[in-house]
């Protein structure tokens, strides 16, 4: 029980309050929202008053911070919803669009898809473009695979925006897009879009990024697309650039069946490796403090090469927050760092809590933080340290997301407990080797290094294919809410119920 109390720091409580605020706002029930706001502010005010009366200075600061930050967060949610309602009228009457490709394009079913940030619209009532508050739409270009579309390109689209369908079967499609900040869709042919040169409408930041970081990404992918085999390039672009569009569906299904799909999603595993490589490299020449600062800088330059993924942003934020505490000479709990990263992501996009990548990433990381060390003590000492760590981390992450995986997919790759223990260390070695080899190749252009990369990837994919022969176990349906109570249940059993039973058993044995 003491362990449970110790992790209830301000950032964790603040993150939980923010998450509940989003959930309440999404009910769209005026009575529920009003009552929740009244209860929250009344409770916070009463808590501050009692803390002042009993001279609990820390409690006053704690509650005041939650009140202030939560108020700013709620106002941010209100602003987003207000902007969305105001833009609906512009969306409904728009005929032509002017804007910027806001995300790295992907390919699907012989079409190109990308997010498009609309900056101005033209409708039948006006002859010129009218500036609007920027908003994003999803653009699908039929037969556009042979065309070159890049992030940061300015374009004119001669097509009306369509509001997304409410549902696709049981899937709430409109809500799904809205939570990603996508307010409409456009289905077009290649002839309906015109790329504009000159970059007149780009911000200074986007102009700089389109001529450096975003351009470098396209150049790197172009080089390796012509050098690696198709499957190898699909794997390479997935683990380093977060793009699964080049990955063959058969290979993707093998990763799912083997329970290793998390290796393809850029997360703490990938970001941690890259951060560690940068840190070790700079530590050769510089002090630890300067090495941390430079490693964080280069890590964020790398993150800019990636699509916006909560798991990657979470890992980068945790790394930079940890580095900040080190530079300042302070230490803190890992759960505090995790909570700080959640607070930042929620301010960027309050609705990211509905992203499955966000949910799985945070649950898995929380499981590792809470249970890894204690579980490691139960494993036999005869096992080498690295194997014990691998088993412990794998089991903790698996247990933390098991209920959610069960509730959403109705199946669980139980064999992944074994495959992860075997494959994660192999992936660590492969990832580090490929990362270093990629940098060396881009600098010196030593051709045989690409051939070595190709062989290593093909061998790894063959091993995954063998592991994927064991099919996941189909499970009976359970309510979705049970997927989110897995951590509290394990926490209660592990740190409250189990110690209590152990104490009682010892008491009876002694007697």
Residue 311, pLDDT above cutoff 60: yes
CB 213 within 8 A of CB 166: no
Q: Report the candidate in 314, 281, 310, 284 with the shortest Cα–Cα distance to residue 298.
A: 281
Mean of pLDDT values over 317-331: 86
pLDDT tens readout for residues 184-231: 999 999 999 999 887 777 888 888 898 899 989 999 999 999 899 999
**Would you state the pLDDT for residue 317?**
92
Mean of pLDDT values over 131-138: 90
Instruction: Give the single-character DSSP code of 162.
Output: B
Beta bridge partners, 138, equal 115, 185
For residue 296 the two structure tokens come to: 């964080």
Residue 501, pLDDT above cutoff 80: no
What share of residues in the chain are helix, strand, coil (percent, to 5)? Answer: 65, 10, 25
Residue 6, pLDDT above cutoff 80: no
pLDDT tens readout for residues 33-42: 999 999 999 9
Of 274-278, 325-329, 492-496, where does the model show the most confidence?
Answer: 274-278
**Would you state the pLDDT for residue 193?**
93
**Would you state the pLDDT for residue 509?**
47
The alpha-helical segments, DSSP class H, found in 197-287 are: 204-211, 213-227, 230-241, 249-257, 268-283
pLDDT tens readout for residues 136-148: 999 999 988 778 8
**Would you state the pLDDT for residue 467?**
87
Alpha-carbon span 511 to 507, nearest angstrom: 6
Residue 507, pLDDT above cutoff 50: no
Confidence of residue 379 (pLDDT cuts 50, 70, 90): confident
How many alpha carbons fall within 13 Å on the CB side of residue 200? 8
What percentage of the chain has pLDDT greater than the value 70?
A: 95
**Would you state the pLDDT for residue 8?**
60
Residue 492, pLDDT above cutoff 80: no
**Would you state the pLDDT for residue 197?**
82
Beta bridge partners, 122, equal 96
Mean of pLDDT values over 410-437: 86
**Would you state the pLDDT for residue 147?**
85
pLDDT tens readout for residues 380-423: 777 777 778 888 888 888 888 888 888 888 887 777 778 888 89
E strands along 177-309, which residues?
A: 182-189, 193-196
pLDDT tens readout for residues 44-88: 999 989 888 888 888 888 899 999 999 999 999 999 999 898 888
Confidence of residue 131 (pLDDT cuts 50, 70, 90): confident
**Would you state the pLDDT for residue 421?**
84
Mean of pLDDT values over 245-273: 87
From residue 253, how far is each of 260, 359, 379, 405 by CA, in Å?
10, 21, 33, 16
Mean of pLDDT values over 9-25: 91
For residue 10 the two structure tokens come to: 């301000």
pLDDT tens readout for residues 113-130: 999 999 999 887 777 888
Q: Report the candidate in 387, 454, 458, 451 with the shortest Cα–Cα distance to residue 424.
A: 387
For residue 206 the two structure tokens come to: 């986007």
From residue 418, how far is each of 32, 349, 390 by CA, in Å?
46, 36, 10
**Would you state the pLDDT for residue 511?**
47
pLDDT tens readout for residues 454-466: 999 999 999 999 9
The C-alpha angle 288, 289, 294, rounded to 5 degrees, equals 95
Least confident range from 61-65, 245-249, 433-437: namely: 245-249
**Would you state the pLDDT for residue 391?**
84
Residue 233, pLDDT above cutoff 60: yes
E strands along 264-409, which residues?
A: none
Mean of pLDDT values over 436-440: 91
pLDDT tens readout for residues 170-197: 888 999 999 999 999 999 999 999 998 8
CB 461 within 8 A of CB 455: no
Alpha-carbon span 40 to 21, nearest angstrom: 10
Mean of pLDDT values over 419-430: 88
């Amino acid at each position: 029980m003491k362990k449970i109390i110790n992790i209830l720091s301000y950032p964790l409580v603040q993150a939980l309050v923010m998450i509940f605020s989003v959930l309440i706002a999404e009910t769209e029930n005026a009575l529920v929202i009003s009552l929740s706001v009244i209860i929250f502010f009344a409770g916070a005010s009463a808590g501050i008053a009692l803390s002042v009366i009993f001279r609990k200075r820390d409690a006053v600061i704690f509650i005041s911070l939650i009140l202030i930050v939560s108020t700013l967060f709620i106002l941010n949610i209100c602003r987003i919803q207000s902007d969305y309602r105001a833009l609906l009228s512009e969306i409904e009457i728009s005929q032509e669009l002017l804007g910027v490709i806001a995300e790295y394009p992907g390919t699907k079913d012989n079409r190109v898809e990308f997010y498009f940030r609309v900056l101005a619209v033209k409708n039948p009532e006006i002859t010129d473009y009218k500036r609007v508050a920027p908003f994003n739409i999803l653009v699908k270009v039929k037969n556009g695979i042979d065309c070159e579309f890049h992030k940061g390109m300015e374009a004119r689209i001669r097509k009306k925006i369509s509001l997304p369908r409410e549902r696709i079967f049981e899937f709430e499609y409109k809500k799904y897009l809205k939570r990603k900040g996508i307010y409409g869709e456009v289905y077009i042919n290649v002839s309906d879009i015109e790329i504009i040169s000159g970059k007149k409408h780009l911000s200074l930041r986007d102009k700089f990024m389109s001529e450096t970081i975003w351009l470098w990404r396209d150049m790197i992918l172009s080089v390796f697309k012509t050098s690696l085999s198709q499957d190898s390039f699909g794997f390479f672009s997935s683990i380093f650039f977060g793009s699964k569009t080049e990955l063959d569906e058969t290979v993707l299904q093998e990763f799912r069946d083997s329970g290793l799909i998390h290796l393809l999603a850029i997360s703490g595993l990938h970001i941690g490796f890259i951060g560690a490589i940068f840190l070790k490299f700079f530590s050769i020449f510089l002090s630890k403090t300067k090495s941390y600062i430079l490693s964080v800088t280069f890590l964020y330059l790398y993150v800019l090469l990636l699509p916006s993924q909560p798991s990657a942003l979470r890992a980068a934020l945790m790394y930079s927050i940890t580095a900040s505490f080190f530079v300042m000479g302070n230490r803190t709990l890992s759960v505090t760092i995790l909570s700080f990263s959640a607070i930042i992501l929620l301010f960027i996009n309050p609705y990211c809590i509905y992203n499955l990548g966000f949910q799985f990433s945070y649950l898995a990381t929380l499981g590792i933080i809470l249970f890894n060390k204690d579980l490691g003590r139960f494993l036999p000492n005869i096992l080498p340290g690295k194997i014990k760590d691998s088993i412990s981390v794998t089991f903790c992450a698996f247990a933390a997301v098991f209920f959610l995986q069960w509730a959403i997919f109705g199946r669980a790759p139980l064999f992944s407990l074994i495959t992860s223990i075997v494959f994660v260390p192999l992936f660590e070695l492969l990832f580090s080797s490929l990362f270093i080899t990629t940098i060396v190749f881009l600098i010196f252009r030593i051709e045989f290094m690409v051939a070595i990369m190709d062989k290593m990837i093909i061998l790894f994919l063959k091993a995954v294919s063998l592991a994927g022969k064991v099919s996941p176990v189909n499970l009976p349906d359970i309510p979705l809410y049970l997927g989110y109570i897995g951590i509290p249940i394990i926490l209660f059993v592990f740190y409250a119920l189990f110690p209590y039973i152990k104490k009682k058993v010892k008491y009876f044995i002694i007697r």
